[in-house]
Chain A
Amino acid sequence: MSFNSLAYLIYLPVVFTVYWVLPHRWQNVFLFVSSYFFLGFIHPWFASLIFSVSLANYLAGRALGRWPEQGKLVVVLVLIFSLGILGYFKYAGFFLDNLKVLLQSMGLPSFQSSLSILLPVGISFYTFQAVAYSIDVYRKDVPIQKNFIDFALFISFFPQLVAGPIERSRDLMPQVEHRRSLTPEQINHGLLLLVWGFFKKLVIADNTGLIAYKVFSLSDPGFYMVWAGVFSFAIQILADFWSYTDIARGSALLLGFKLSRNFDHPYFATSPADFWRRWHMSLSYWLRDYVYIPLGGSRVRGGRAAGNIMLTFLLSGLWHGASWNFVLWGGYHGLLVLINRWSRTIIDRLKFTVPVWLQPGIITGKMLFTFLLICIGWLMFRVTDTGRLLAMFQLSPWHANGEDLGVAVYLFFLSLLYSMPIWLHGVFHLHWCRRHTLDDPLPDSLLMARPLLMGLLFLGILLLRSPAPSTFIYFQF
C-alpha cells in the first residue's frame, strides 16, 4: 500500500480507531497484523520475506543471550542470512550481468543471464534495521527482546516499513514495549506532518518530477536544459523522500510512536559533510555506527581514514541501487567529503578568521556552492545509462543553444515556484533554530497557525497536485 493512495487514507483512520479502542497488550498484536497487511497489500509474498528476516534476527538475539560465548558466530551467521537475502534479491542480477560482461571482455565463454528477480519493497530498510538490532545485542548496547510479536512489530512497523527512517532498537523498542498515550499535541503535530508530507509529495515532488521527466526524455538536451532538469530532480528527490518520512512520522505520532527525523533541510548544508548530517540521517548514522566506526573511523589516520570514508560512501551508493551510476554517486560524495575535510584542515592551519559582518555572506556562499556540488551528484543518480551520463557531463555552456537558456530559466523558475514552501520552511527553520532546539514545542501564540497552515496546505494539494502522480522514488531501494 502506498501512502499516496486512497487505500491508505482509508486504512490509516481505520487502524487509528481500532488501535486506540484496544487495550495495550492487544495494541501491539493489532499493529503487527496491520503492518503485515500493509506490506501484503503490495504483494502477499513480501510479508513472508520480512517474517523470515524478523525470525532469524529474533532467534539470533535469543541465542546471543543463551550462548554469549558463541556471540561472534551467531552474529556472523545472522549477518550472512540477512545480508544474503538482501544481496540475492537486490544485487544478484547486477552481479551476474557484470560477470557476463567481464567474461565476454576477457574472451572467456559467457552464459545466458535470465535472472529476473522482483525486488521486495523496503528490503534494504528492514534488513538494516534487523541487522542493527543483532549487532547491538552482541555489543550489549540494548537488551534482548523476548517477545516475538514486539520484535516483529519493531521490524515491520508499517509507517516506516517501506522507506524508513531506519530506526534503532534503543529508540523504537522501548516505545513498542511501553504503554503509549495520545495527547492533543501529538494529534496536532501528527496531522500537520501528514498534510505537509502529502503536500510535498503530491504538489512539489510530482510537479517538479514532471519537469525533470520532460527534460530527461528529450533526445538531445542542451547544457542549460540538463542543469535545469537536474535542479528539478534535486527538488523532486528531496520532496519525495522527505514527504515519505513526514507521512511516516505523522502516522506514527497518531499511534503514539515518535520516529526519528530523517531530514534537516539538507539543501541548507554548508559543506558536503554537513549535507550527510542532514540528508537521510538514519542511513548516515547507521553507516557511521556499523561500517565507518568498526573500520576504524577517524581514529586511524592518513590513507586508511580516507579509505574508510570512501568505502562507507561506496556502500551507501550501492545500498541505493544495484547500478554503476549509484556506485559512482557514492564515490563522488566520498570524494567531496574527503576534499572538504582536507580543505578544512588547511583553513584551520592558516588560522584565518572571517569578520563577523562577512559571515552571513560566507555562509550563503557555502550553501550555494554545496548545493551546486550536490546537484552534480544528482545527475549521476538520475541518469542510469553511463554513456549518456558522460555525454551530459561533456556538454559545454559555450556551445549551448541560446534558445535553450530561455527555456531552462523558465523551467528553473517553475521548479522554484512549486518548491517555494520548502525553501520558506528552510528559512523559517534557520530562524527558529537560532533561539530554540528542535524538540521545543511550538509557542502558544503559534498554535493556531497550525490549523490555518493545514487548511492552506490542504487547498494546495487539491488545486496544485500534479496531473501525473508517481510512486515514491525510494520505494525501489
Chain B
Amino acid sequence: MSKRLACNHCLYALALALLGLFCCIRLPSLVLQYAIIPGIDRESQGWWAQFSKPTRPLPVNGYEVFLPAARTIALNPDFKRVTTWIVWIVPTDSLYKIQFSAEAVSRVTLDGRTLLKAAPKSQSRQVEEKWCRLTQGPHLFRLDMYNKDGGGWFSIGFLRPPLMRLNALQGDMVAVLRSRNLEMWWRFMRLSRPAAWFFGLIAASALLAFLLPLTVTNRWYATIVTMVLILVPALSIPDISRREPYIGPVIHRQLRQKNPRYVFIGNSMLWSRIDDSLLEHLLGNVPVYSIVNFGGLSGIHYLALKYLLIPSGIRPRRVFIFFRGTTLVEPTARTTGPYFETLIKRITPAPDPVFERLAHGRVTSPAGIFQRYLDVLFSVQKNRKLVRDTVNRAAFWLSVPGTGKERRNKRNQLHILVNRQFSLKNVGAGTDKESLRSSSKGTCDFNDCVATSFLPALLDLARKHDLSLVFVRVQERPPDNAPVRDTPEMKRFMADLRSYLLQQGAGLYDFTGDPKLPLSLYGQGDHIEDPRQYTPIFYDRLRGFLQ
C-alpha cells in the first residue's frame, strides 16, 4: 500500500515538474506576447535608454531618453552606467549572427538570455559575435554598459546567411518600448532558464524515484528500460527535412535580368577583390555577376554552380572560381557547423547526393539518413565543438591552474606554444609508418586527393552544361612585404593542378608572387582592403580570359 502511495506521489511530482518545465520554457515568449508587445510603439524607432550615476553634479540622479536607432550609438559622457532597450522585429525565422562592439564593459541580452559580453576595449574595436536562431516577430534586446570614465559608444548589427551583409537594427525592424515595469518583466525572462533546470531536475528525480523500486525483482523490466532509454531519443522523430528557404529563384531572376557574360563564384576572397561595377566599366559595360558565399570553399562553390547558376538558364562565356591554397581538393573543409548547414540549405533545394558523399562521407541511404538523424537529434555538430573545447580548456587550466590575469596570460601563452609546437614546419620528418596508419588525414598530394575532391564534379558539371571554368588562385597575405613564395610541395601541387585542369579543358590563373600585390593592398588576413584597387589588376592579368 505504502509502495503504491509512494509511486503516486512520484507521479504527481513528475506531472507538476513537467508542467513547471513547460511553463518555464514558454515564459520568455509569454512575457513578450502579453507584457512587452502591447507596450511597443512601432511609429518611433530607437533605443529606450536609462542612465544613472552622473559623473558631475547634475540636477537629476538619472533620466530616461530615446536614442535614434543607428549602426553606432554614442552615449552621454556625464553618465557611467546605461541600460538601453529595443524591440527588434525579426523579419523571418532564421539563423542570425549578432555582431557587437563597444567601448566599455557591456552585456547584451536577448529575451532575457545573455547573448554577448564585451570587455573594455579602448584601443581596438574588437567585434563580439554570436549565432542565434530566432523566430519571426518581436524580440527584446537589452544592453547594459558601464564605463568608469563615463560615456562611450556601442555598435550592434546582425547578419543573416547566405549573403551575410551587416545590417543595423534600425528602420521598420525596430520599435521603441513604452511598457512599464520593463525591468521586472526582463527579470522574469532571465528566470526562465534556471527555473527550467530546477523543474527538469525535479522531473528527472521523480522519474527515477518512480522507476527504481520496481527494479528489485524484475530484471526483464530493467532490460526493457535500458533499451528504451537508449532508443527513445532515437524514436522521438526530429524533423530532419525542415529546410531554410531556398534562395535559388531570387538569384536566378537576378541572373536572367542581368544576363552576365562573366560569372564569379567565391567567398570573401572574391568579395574583397572584385568590384562588379568597376569591372563592368573596365570591360566596356559588359555585365558581370558575383555569387559570393561567405566562408564557402570548394563544396559550397560546387553547390553554387549547380543550384544557383545552372538552373537560371544563363550560359556565361566564362565562370571564374576563386580559391586559396589547396582548398580545391579539401572536400570536407567548411561544410559543417550551424552557419554552413544553414547556408547549404539556402542554396540547395534538396540534399545533394554528390555533396553529401564528398563533404560528409555520407550516402543518401538509410544508413546515411540515420547518421544525419543523429546529428539533428543531439545537435551533434554544435555540441561536439562545445564539449571538445571544454575538454581542451580544462587541460589548459590543469596545466596552468589558477585564476587571475597573470594565470590567464600564461594559459594563452601555452596555447600559442602548443600551436607553434605542432605547426606544419615541425611535423613531417618524424612521420613514421604507425603515424600514417593511425591518421585518417593524408598529405596534400594533388594526385592522391583529387579523386575524392569536388574538382571532378565541378568540371563534369561544367562540361555537361557547356560552361568554361577558370580557376583563380588568390595570393595569400605577403609576409612583411616580401614576395609570396610557394613551398616546393605547393609548387608541385600547383603544377599537378595546372596539368590536370589543362587536360580537362579548364583554365587556371595563379596570382601568387604577383609584384603588383604588396602588403599595403591587404586588409584583414588575406582580404584586400579595397576591391577597387584589385579589380584593375585582375582585369589586366586575366585579359586573355576576359576577351
Are the CB atoms of A413 and B398 closer together than 8 Å? yes
Are the CB atoms of B383 and A463 closer together than 8 Å? yes
Are the CB atoms of B387 and A214 closer together than 8 Å? no
Most A Cβ at <10 Å: residue of B227, B391, B417 = B391
Q: What is the chain B residue whose CB lies nearest that of A184?
A: B223
Are the CB atoms of A184 and B220 closer together than 8 Å? yes
The reply to whether the CB of B430 lies closer than 8 angstroms to some CB of chain A is yes
Our pick among A6, A210, A384, A468 for the contact of B433 (Cβ within 8 Å) is: A384
Which B residues are in CB contact (< 8 Å) with A468? 438-441
Q: Measured between alpha carbons, how far is A239 from B417 in the docked complex, in Å?
A: 28
Which A residues are in CB contact (< 8 Å) with B426? 218-220
Are the CB atoms of A216 and B429 closer together than 8 Å? no
Are the CB atoms of A448 and B378 closer together than 8 Å? no
The reply to whether the CB of A225 lies closer than 8 angstroms to some CB of chain B is yes
Are the CB atoms of A188 and B219 closer together than 8 Å? yes
Are the CB atoms of B439 and A213 closer together than 8 Å? yes
Which A residues are in CB contact (< 8 Å) with B417? 403, 406-407
The reply to whether the CB of B542 lies closer than 8 angstroms to some CB of chain A is no
Interface size class of B (residues with CB under 8 A): 35 or more
User: Which stretch from A60-68, A96-104, A367-375, A454-462 is at the chain B interface?
Assistant: A454-462
Are the CB atoms of A185 and B439 closer together than 8 Å? no
Q: Measured between alpha carbons, how far is A209 from B441 in the docked complex, in Å?
A: 13
Are the CB atoms of A451 and B216 closer together than 8 Å? no
Which A residues are in CB contact (< 8 Å) with B223? 184-185, 187-188
Query: Smallest CB–CB gap between B234 and chain A, Å?
Result: 10
Query: Smallest CB–CB gap between A415 and chain B, Å?
Result: 9
Are the CB atoms of B432 and A388 closer together than 8 Å? yes
Are the CB atoms of B395 and A410 closer together than 8 Å? yes
Q: Provide the B387-423 mask, 1 if CB < 8 A to any CB of A, else 0.
A: 1100110111011100000000000001001100110
Are the CB atoms of B430 and A220 closer together than 8 Å? yes
Our pick among B219, B384, B391 for the contact of A414 (Cβ within 8 Å) is: B391
Our pick among B216, B374, B392, B427 for the contact of A218 (Cβ within 8 Å) is: B427
Q: Provide the A1-14 mask, 1 if CB < 8 A to any CB of B, else 0.
A: 00000100010000
Q: What is the chain B residue whose CB lies nearest that of A452?
A: B229
Q: Measured between alpha carbons, how far is A120 from B216 in the docked complex, in Å?
A: 48
Q: Measured between alpha carbons, how far is A458 from B230 in the docked complex, in Å?
A: 8
Which B residues are in CB contact (< 8 Å) with A298? none
Q: Measured between alpha carbons, how far is A188 from B229 in the docked complex, in Å?
A: 12
The reply to whether the CB of A383 lies closer than 8 angstroms to some CB of chain B is yes
Query: Known contacts A213-B438, A385-B432; is A448 also within 8 Å of B222 by CB?
Result: yes
Q: Which of A418-477 contact B (CB under 8 A)?
A: 418, 444-445, 447-448, 450-452, 454-455, 458-459, 462-465, 468-471, 473
Q: What is the chain B residue whose CB lies nearest that of A383?
A: B432
Are the CB atoms of B414 and A463 closer together than 8 Å? no
Which B residues are in CB contact (< 8 Å) with A470? 437-440
Are the CB atoms of B430 and A382 closer together than 8 Å? no
Interface size class of A (residues with CB under 8 A): 35 or more
Q: Measured between alpha carbons, how far is A347 from B363 in the docked complex, in Å?
A: 64
Are the CB atoms of B430 and A407 closer together than 8 Å? no
Q: Which of B363-383 contact A (CB under 8 A)?
A: 367, 371, 374, 378, 380, 383
Which A residues are in CB contact (< 8 Å) with B8? none
Q: What is the chain B residue whose CB lies nearest that of A469?
A: B440
Query: Smallest CB–CB gap between B366 and chain A, Å?
Result: 9
Q: Measured between alpha carbons, how far is A462 from B422 in the docked complex, in Å?
A: 27
The reply to whether the CB of B481 lies closer than 8 angstroms to some CB of chain A is no
Q: Measured between alpha carbons, how far is A418 from B387 in the docked complex, in Å?
A: 11
Which A residues are in CB contact (< 8 Å) with B16? none
Query: Smallest CB–CB gap between B393 and chain A, Å?
Result: 10
Are the CB atoms of B230 and A451 closer together than 8 Å? yes
Q: Measured between alpha carbons, how far is A458 from B374 in the docked complex, in Å?
A: 11
Query: Known contacts A213-B439, A217-B430; is A448 also within 8 Å of B396 by CB?
Result: no
Which A residues are in CB contact (< 8 Å) with B429? 219-220
Which B residues are in CB contact (< 8 Å) with A463? 378, 380, 383-384, 387-388
The reply to whether the CB of A221 lies closer than 8 angstroms to some CB of chain B is yes
Are the CB atoms of B391 and A417 closer together than 8 Å? yes
Query: Known contacts A191-B230, A451-B222; is A417 also within 8 Å of B438 by CB?
Result: no
Q: Measured between alpha carbons, how far is A470 from B418 in the docked complex, in Å?
A: 23
Which B residues are in CB contact (< 8 Å) with A403? 417, 421
The reply to whether the CB of B225 lies closer than 8 angstroms to some CB of chain A is yes
Q: What is the chain A residue whose CB lies nearest that of B368?
A: A6
Q: Which of A167-191 contact B (CB under 8 A)?
A: 183-185, 187-188, 191
Our pick among A404, A406, A452 for the contact of B399 (Cβ within 8 Å) is: A406
Q: Measured between alpha carbons, how far is A129 from B400 in the docked complex, in Å?
A: 50
Query: Smallest CB–CB gap between A219 and chain B, Å?
Result: 3
Query: Smallest CB–CB gap between A444 and chain B, Å?
Result: 5
The reply to whether the CB of A77 lies closer than 8 angstroms to some CB of chain B is no
Query: Known contacts A209-B438, A468-B439, A470-B437; is A462 also within 8 Å of B378 by CB?
Result: yes
Which A residues are in CB contact (< 8 Å) with B392? 414
Q: Measured between alpha carbons, how far is A184 from B383 in the docked complex, in Å?
A: 34
The reply to whether the CB of B226 lies closer than 8 angstroms to some CB of chain A is yes
Which A residues are in CB contact (< 8 Å) with B395? 410, 413-414, 417
Are the CB atoms of B380 and A216 closer together than 8 Å? no
Are the CB atoms of A216 and B384 closer together than 8 Å? no
Which B residues are in CB contact (< 8 Å) with A413? 394-395, 398-399
Q: Provide the A391-404 mask, 1 if CB < 8 A to any CB of B, else 0.
A: 00000000000011
Are the CB atoms of B432 and A384 closer together than 8 Å? yes
Which A residues are in CB contact (< 8 Å) with B437? 470-471
The reply to whether the CB of B211 lies closer than 8 angstroms to some CB of chain A is yes
Which A residues are in CB contact (< 8 Å) with B374? 462
Are the CB atoms of B394 and A417 closer together than 8 Å? yes
Query: Smallest CB–CB gap between A383 and chain B, Å?
Result: 7
Our pick among B414, B432, B438 for the contact of A410 (Cβ within 8 Å) is: B414
Which B residues are in CB contact (< 8 Å) with A219? 426-430
The reply to whether the CB of A409 lies closer than 8 angstroms to some CB of chain B is yes
Are the CB atoms of B435 and A217 closer together than 8 Å? yes
The reply to whether the CB of B434 lies closer than 8 angstroms to some CB of chain A is yes
Query: Smallest CB–CB gap between B309 and chain A, Å?
Result: 32
Are the CB atoms of B219 and A184 closer together than 8 Å? yes
Which A residues are in CB contact (< 8 Å) with B384? 462-465
Are the CB atoms of A191 and B226 closer together than 8 Å? yes
Which B residues are in CB contact (< 8 Å) with A212? 438
Q: Measured between alpha carbons, how far is A219 from B430 in the docked complex, in Å?
A: 4
The reply to whether the CB of B212 lies closer than 8 angstroms to some CB of chain A is yes
Q: Measured between alpha carbons, how far is A6 from B363 in the docked complex, in Å?
A: 12
Are the CB atoms of B430 and A448 closer together than 8 Å? no
Which B residues are in CB contact (< 8 Å) with A195? 230
Are the CB atoms of B421 and A216 closer together than 8 Å? no
Q: Measured between alpha carbons, how far is A293 from B354 in the docked complex, in Å?
A: 60
Query: Smallest CB–CB gap between B388 and chain A, Å?
Result: 7
Query: Known contacts A6-B371, A462-B380; is A214 also within 8 Å of B229 by CB?
Result: no
Are the CB atoms of B432 and A455 closer together than 8 Å? no
Most A Cβ at <10 Å: residue of B229, B367, B395 = B395
Q: Measured between alpha carbons, how far is A464 from B432 in the docked complex, in Å?
A: 27
Are the CB atoms of B219 and A447 closer together than 8 Å? yes
Are the CB atoms of A406 and B414 closer together than 8 Å? yes
The reply to whether the CB of B431 lies closer than 8 angstroms to some CB of chain A is yes
Query: Smallest CB–CB gap between B399 and chain A, Å?
Result: 4
Our pick among B226, B388, B431 for the contact of A188 (Cβ within 8 Å) is: B226
Q: Measured between alpha carbons, how far is A184 from B414 in the docked complex, in Å?
A: 51
Most B Cβ at <10 Å: residue of A217, A406, A465 = A217
Are the CB atoms of A448 and B387 closer together than 8 Å? no
Q: What is the chain B residue whose CB lies nearest that of A219?
A: B429
Sample (11) of A-B pairs whose CB atoms are under 8 Å apart? A184-B223, A185-B219, A210-B439, A213-B439, A388-B432, A404-B421, A407-B418, A452-B229, A455-B230, A465-B384, A468-B440
Q: Which residues of A contact B (CB under 8 A)?
A: 6, 10, 183-185, 187-188, 191, 195, 209-210, 212-214, 216-221, 225, 382-385, 388, 403-404, 406-407, 409-410, 413-414, 416-418, 444-445, 447-448, 450-452, 454-455, 458-459, 462-465, 468-471, 473
Q: Which 3 A-B pairs have the closest CB atoms?
A: A219-B429, A184-B223, A414-B395
List 7 extra interface pairs beyond A448-B208, A450-B226, A458-B230, CB under 8 A: A195-B230, A217-B432, A220-B430, A413-B395, A416-B398, A417-B395, A470-B439
